Each structure stands twice: as structure tokens, then as C-alpha cells.
Amino acid sequence: MAAHPMETPVATPFDYDEDGKHDGFLRLYHSNETNGYGYVPIPVISVKNGEGPTALLVGGNHGNEYEGIVALMNLARDLEASSVRGRVLILPSLNFPAVMAGRRSSPLDGANLNRCFPGDPLGSPTQVTAHYVSSVLLPLTDLVIDLHAGGRSSEFIPCALVREGRNEHETTELARLAEWFGAPISFVSSGKGGGGARTLAGECTRQGIPCLTAELGGGETLSQRGLQLATEGVRRILSQFGILQSTALPTGASTRWVKKGPHDRLHADVAGIFEPRIKLGEHVSPGKVAGLIHFPDFPMRKPEEVRFESSGYILSCHIPALVGRGDELCTLVNDV
């Protein structure tokens, strides 16, 4: 069991620099009421063959987003060192406690891993996990693919996003990842929404590592469409990057480039039961009714209409009918 220097308390089961195919579990040591000296096992697979670039493939950053988890487990079983030039590091269930609990955030500390980067080696288990990725894995890496979905709260049209680069050339190079991935739609994110710099993508930007993030479905289901996109899209990128020997893969569809603006999220202003009047991919205009919010605590109160203030195509929709004030009901995008 190889241990890294004091910068991380996580132990690694093998040497990442060793050629061949290796699999095991990172040991994230964690003391709790039932196991004072135990560890959290985080699956890790390394496939290496000589010199070349390194790709880090991540699933289960959020534990209830399943397309990426399954796609990367399938890839880990199929991939052989003889088909690789360089190295592929696969973490199919990075937030392992959350995956096993079917939750977005870790049941160990309630933390959202994709809001914890760059992490803290002396922090909670989730912060330690983020720190291991930031301090041990990313310095080895030339490319990161982080596979997501809508989890419990929403459903997405399968899509890919990249962050803005530090200059126009970097942004253009990052956009090529999305072209290779071949999602139905792609967009360039400013990184100012959501978790910003605290996400894995944000940490990759800080370290100057190309990163593609994909949203592949949602509703805590396993979408066959999203699974196929993840399976083929990851292989296409690895092939184009020169890591994976070219195989007979379907050519990715020409992705449709869209953009998100600062006012392209529609939120609930009141709590209640949301009755949607929209569907994924639909084009809406200002004033169109997105849905009604019903009030179970005031059954005689007239439902409140929720209307759009801007136009665009529906990228994602809220899944649970019960919404709270401030919940996102849908996200809009527009053609570039």
C-alpha cells in the first residue's frame, strides 16, 4: 500500500507510474461511531502503456448520477494496456459514500464534493477527497472528463460544457473536446454560476488542465441515450487525444453550440406543487406560462402562474413536483 507524502492522508493501492492495468481502492481513512479505525474505499483503475498523455475520467462526483458511473465501469473492464498510449486513470465512483447511499452529497459529512475543490487534507472526508484529486491526480493529468447528470432534482438534454480558457486560443482548444464528445448540444461556461471555482472543472481551470463536463440525463434514472453518449464520447476524445488507439466508433453528431445568459434560469418564487406546462427542448418566449404552483396548505387559493421573462430552448427541467421558494424550475439556452 503506497502512501503519498504528508500533503494527503489518502493511501494509494499501486504506483500510477507502473505500466499495465491495475485496479484497487484508495483508502480514505475515516473514524466514526461504528468503526474507529476504518477507511472509505474509493475504486480506482490505472491503465498505462509507456510514455504519453494522461486522462483522468471521473464518474460519481455526485452520487446519484448514474450514466457516467456505469459507462466508466464498463470502460475500466474493457480497456487493456496494449490499446493505450500513455495513461488512463479511472475513478468511476469518486464520491463513493454518496454513490452507495444514492445521494448527491456524502452521508459522512453532508458535503457536496463538486463544491469542495481544491479541498483540505485536514478537513472532512469529502474535503480530503477533493484535496487528493487536486494535489495528487491533477498534477499527473493532461485531460479531465467529468461525467454528470441531473440527479434527483432535474433532467437534462444530454449536453457537454467546457469552461472559458485563459485566452481565446485556449477556449478554442477546449471547444474541440466538446466537438469530439458529440453531445446533441454544447456550450462554453463562464464558470460564474453553480459552484464556480469550487468545482472540479474550476480547479482544472486554475491548474490549466483541459476539462470537459457532461450532463447525461437525470431523475436518478439510467438513461440509455446518456449511457451511449458517455461510452462513445469518452472513447472519441481519448482517440483524438492520442491516448486510445483508434477503434471503429460511430462518428459523433455535429454538436449544436448554445449559450446561457445570466437570466436563463427560472426559479420558483413560492413553495408548493409545481405543475409543468413545458418539456425539454421546447422553445419558449417571454410571457409564456412555464407552469402552475399549487398550494396544498391553502386548497382554496388559486394556483400561481410562473411565466418566462426571457426566450430560449429548455435545457433542463425540475423533476420533483414539490418545490420550495428559490428552487430552479428550468434552464434556458439560446443558439450561439
Q: How many other CB atoms sit within 10 Å of the CB of residue 82?
A: 10
Assign 169 a pLDDT band (cuts: 50, 70, 90): confident
Q: Are 211 and 145 in contact (CB under 8 A)?
A: yes
Of the listed ranges 7-16, 31-40, 90-99, 114-123, the least confidently predicted one is 31-40
Residue 148 is placed in which grid cell? 454528470
Q: Are 71 and 232 in contact (CB under 8 A)?
A: no
Assign 72 a pLDDT band (cuts: 50, 70, 90): very high
Domains and CATH numbers, the chain: 2-258 (3.40.630.10), 265-335 (2.40.50.100)
- Distance, in Å, from the CA atom of 96 to the CA atom of 196, rounded to the nearest integer, reads 23
State the average pLDDT over residues 201-227. 96
Long-range contacts of 4-8 (CB under 8 A, 24+ apart): 4/136, 6/121, 7/121, 7/131, 7/135, 7/136, 8/121, 8/128, 8/131, 8/132, 8/135, 8/136
Question: Which pLDDT value is given to residue 24?
Answer: 98
What is this structure's pTM?
A: 0.94
**Region of residue 272 (left: phi > 0; alpha: psi -120 to 50; beta: else):** left
Q: Are 74 and 45 in contact (CB under 8 A)?
A: no
Of the listed ranges 26-35, 99-108, 155-164, 279-288, the least confidently predicted one is 26-35
Does the pLDDT of residue 5 top 50, yes or no?
Answer: no
Question: Which pLDDT value is given to residue 112?
Answer: 98
- Distance, in Å, from the CA atom of 151 to the CA atom of 104, rounded to the nearest integer, reads 7
State the average pLDDT over residues 40-66. 98
Q: Are 159 and 147 in contact (CB under 8 A)?
A: no
Does the pLDDT of residue 252 top 80, yes or no?
Answer: no
